[in-house]
Structure 1
C-alpha cells in the first residue's frame, strides 16, 4: 500500500497543476457544455463521466509505468539509483513548473505528440457529447493527451516499482485535478483564483522541490528528513 504522504504529494501535484490542466482541456469542457442549456442538470453527469475516464487513463498509465519500473529495478542497485535520480530531477522540475519559475516541462509534451496523433481523430468523432457513455470514452482517450505534468508524475510513479502503487499515485494525482477541472460554481472560481495566486504557487512549488531533493539519493536525505518528519508523524 502506498504511503499516505506519497498520495498527498501526488494529490498536491494535481491540485496545483490544475490550472495547467484547465488550459489543456478547457476546450473539451466547453464542448461538453455546448448545447446543454435546455437541460443543465445533465451537464454534471457528463463532466463527471469525462473526468472519470481521464483519471482511469492516468491510473492505467501508472500501472504500466509501475510494471516497467519493477522490471528495471530487477536489473540491480545501479538502475534503482538511476531511477531515483531521474524521479528527483523530475519532481524538482515539477516544483519549478508549479511555481511558474521554469516551464521546461512543456518540452516533454512534444515527445507525447506521436502517441496522441492516432488517438485525436477518435476523440474528435465523439463531439458533441450528449450522454455519459461517450463522455467516459472521451475522457479515456483524452487522458493520453501530451502533458508534461502528467508525464513527469508518471516517471515519479514508476520509481515505486509496483504497478499497484504507481496506479494509486496516478489516481491521487488525477483526483487532485478534479476541483478545477469540474470548473463550475463559486467554489471552483474562488479555488481557481487561489491556485493561480503567485504566493500559493510558489509555496506549492517549494514543497515539491524539497520532496524532489529528498528523493535524490545521497547523504543529504538525513537533514531533509527532519523537514518531512512532522508530516510523516501526522500521517
Structure 2
C-alpha cells in the first residue's frame, strides 16, 4: 500500500510550498546573507540571482542525496519484511501531522525529531565557515550542499514520504520536487525580505498551511490497510 506515484511529485512540491514559513526560519537567514555579501553596483542583481540559485541547487541536491540513502535502506527493508511498507506509511503520516501541528503553532513536538540529525550537523556545520562570506557561485553551491543537511522537521517529514517510493530514483525525485516547492520562498528571501518576513508572521497563513499538512499526513496513514490486518 503506497501513495499513487502520479500524486507524489506534485504533492511533494505542494508540501514544500506550504512549508515555506518553516524554511524561512531554518534557511532564510543564510539565503538573505548571500545578497548582503555582494557590493551594490552594476550587475548586482545578476550576481545575486546566480548566488541564490547556486545555493538552492546545492541544497536541493543534498535533499535528493539523503533520499537516495534512505531509499536504499527502505527498499532493502521492504524486501525482507512484509510489514515495512505499513510501518513506513505510518511514520510518514505521523511526521507530516507533527509538522502541521508545528506549522500551525499548536505543538512543537517535531523539534524532538529534528534532534536525530544533530550529530551529523555538528560534524558538517564547521565546514560551512570555509565558504563564508560567499563571493562566487561555487562557494554558494558548496554552502547549499552542506546546508541541506541542517536538521529540519519539514525535510524529515517529506523524507518519510520519499521512503515509501518503489524505487530509489523516485524517492530522489520526490525530494527534488519538494525542494523545488521551497524554492520560491527561498529566492524571495533574497529579493523581497520585508514581504517574506510579513508572510512568516502571518498567523492565518501558518495555520492554514499547518492544517493542510495535517491533512496530507492523515491521507498518508494506512487506515484501510491496518483495518484489513
The answer to whether TM tops 0.5 is yes
1:50-87 deviation per Cα after TM superposition (whole angstroms, max 9, x unaligned):
01000000011111112211111112322222121111
2:2 matches 1:8: no
1:197 Cα offset (Å): 3.1
For the aligned residues, what is the CA RMSD? Answer: 2.4
Residue 108 of structure 1 aligns with which residue? 113
Residue 40 of structure 2 aligns with which residue? 38
Compare 38-47 and 168-177 and name the one that shifted more.
38-47
Whether the 8 Å contact between 1:16 and 1:195 is mirrored in structure 2 is no
Q: Alpha carbons of 1:200 and 1:26: their partners in 2 closer, same or farther (altered >3 Å)?
A: closer
2:187 matches 1:176: no
1:190 Cα offset (Å): 4.5
Residue 223 of structure 2 aligns with which residue? 218
Residue 83 of structure 1 aligns with which residue? 88
Whether the 8 Å contact between 1:31 and 1:127 is mirrored in structure 2 is no
2:211 matches 1:206: yes
1:86-137 deviation per Cα after TM superposition (whole angstroms, max 9, x unaligned):
1121121122222222221112222211001111121111101111011101
Compare 124-133 and 13-22 and name the one that shifted more.
13-22
1:5-34 deviation per Cα after TM superposition (whole angstroms, max 9, x unaligned):
222221122112222222222332243123
Q: Alpha carbons of 1:178 and 1:119: their partners in 2 closer, same or farther (altered >3 Å)?
A: same
Residue 143 of structure 2 aligns with which residue? 138
Partner Cα distance (1:69, 1:192) in 2: 38
Residue 122 of structure 2 aligns with which residue? 117
2:164 matches 1:162: no
Q: Alpha carbons of 1:30 and 1:201: their partners in 2 closer, same or farther (altered >3 Å)?
A: closer
Residue 99 of structure 2 aligns with which residue? 94
Q: Alpha carbons of 1:38 and 1:209: their partners in 2 closer, same or farther (altered >3 Å)?
A: closer
Number of residue pairs aligned between Structure 1 and Structure 2: 220
Gaps of 5+ in 1: 223-235
Q: Alpha carbons of 1:91 and 1:26: their partners in 2 closer, same or farther (altered >3 Å)?
A: closer
2:20 matches 1:18: yes
Whether the 8 Å contact between 2:67 and 2:162 is mirrored in structure 1 is yes
1:119 is paired with a residue whose SS is helix
Partner Cα distance (1:75, 1:129) in 2: 46
Whether the 8 Å contact between 2:100 and 2:213 is mirrored in structure 1 is yes
Residue 79 of structure 2 aligns with which residue? 74
Q: Alpha carbons of 1:173 and 1:82: their partners in 2 closer, same or farther (altered >3 Å)?
A: same
2:147 matches 1:151: no
Residue 230 of structure 1 aligns with which residue? none
